[in-house]
Copies of this chain bind each other. A is one copy, B any other.
Amino acid sequence: MRILILGGDGYLGWPTAMRFSQGGHEVHVADNYFRRRAHDEAGTDTLTPIGPDLPTRAAAWREVTGREIGVTEGDLVEWDVVERLFRDFRPDAVVHYGEQPSAPYSMKSREHAVWTQTNNVVNTLNVLFAIRDLAPDCHLVKLGTMGEYGTPNIDIEEGFIEITHKGRSDTLPFPKLPGSLYHLSKVHDSHNIHFACRIWGIRATDLNQGVVYGIETEETALDPRLATRFDYDDVFGTALNRFCVQAVIGHPLTVYGRGGQTRGYLNIVDTLRCVELAVETPAEQGEMRVFNQFTEQFSVVELAEIVQKAGIEHGLDVEVTPIDNPRVEAEEHYYHATHRKLLDLGLEPHLLSETLVESMFATIEQHRERIVLDHILPRDRWRS
């Protein structure tokens, strides 16, 4: 298959590209290096060293495996970039990771909020119009987020819910309570994609993904030049990555507020498998499928405890300290989200274990001198 990976320079984009290339597919990646620029501006960086750009990464991939990955350096907000990608590459599937992915980034200021929503909504609209006009059979596999749902007081279903009301029923989009202006951009995308499926007959799979952890895949392990990024900073890092870095440097694990915030999590290896499963069994023409893409639920306190336990095993002295929550979110809440569809397609989960956390410690220790200490704690408060 001809598979286009948008955001192919990213934490998940690059490993996804290598996986499909290794599987014998024809792969093309596109990226505008937004995250690299945002890191440069903030004075932060990925902990794991990665190639300086996509051509260099693709050259290393060719050297190691003999396989080709095509590269476009460009911005998906510009229609001629998207048009050229679809005209020249004629994808059978497009895996769309190409968005501003950080909630704290979107909450920094009005400018960051407007930029995040404009960037994400417009580039997805461009992709939808490109599919409609240039590749109507192409299957859109779009990376959404479990954060679109927020934390309702009922079980979260996969995209749609059957509602019985005043004696009638209908299956309707699951109501959304997103928790940041970034998460809102994904909600906007989901509505736009659903419309495009209904009106234009586009086929799409919206992967409402949980928080991904881990950096090792079969392909990243082949050569250090094929590594993917590891973000632990206040803007692009995840709580688990931050905790692992804090454990290694002897800093208390900083839990935001009471720490009852519960979310879905999955291993990067499972992300790649989920995307593969989605691409291999495409949605029908006109269908918008939604998969809740995670394998386990944890609260922030539970994550901290796992890291603490693994740290002690590893000979580290690890404390857990709550700090004032910079976000505005429920710190204790009901959370139960369905995630059957990917299991039904054959996903075999790799669960979070202390062994995996210890392997993350090892990577962090290896690159310890690259840690930027003053960008681990939150800098922006979401309340006005």
Contacts and interface: CB of A to CB of B under 8 A. Distances in A.
A172 B165 contact: no
Contacts of A176: 173, 191
A174 interface: yes
B199 A178 contact: no
A199 B328 contact: yes
Consensus secondary structure, chain A interface: mixed
Interface in A139-161: 152-155, 157, 161
Nearest to A113: B125
Contacts of A199: 328, 382-383
Interface in A324-343: 328, 334
A300 interface: no
A229 to B, nearest CB: 29
Contacts of A168: 153-155, 334
A163 interface: yes
Which of under 10, 10 to 19, 20 to 34, or 35 or more describes the interface residues of A?
Answer: 35 or more
Interface in A78-115: 79, 110, 113-114
* Nearest 6 Cβ contacts at the A-B interface: A172-B175, A153-B170, A110-B129, A154-B165, A188-B188, A199-B328
Interface of A: 79, 110, 113-114, 117-118, 121-122, 125-126, 129, 132-133, 136, 152-155, 157, 161, 163-166, 168-170, 172-181, 184, 187-188, 191-192, 194-195, 198-201, 328, 334, 382-384
23 contacts: A79-B110, A110-B129, A117-B121, A117-B188, A117-B192, A118-B118, A118-B122, A136-B384, A154-B164, A154-B166, A157-B165, A172-B177, A177-B198, A178-B191, A178-B195, A179-B195, A181-B195, A184-B191, A184-B192, A187-B191, A188-B191, A198-B328, A199-B382
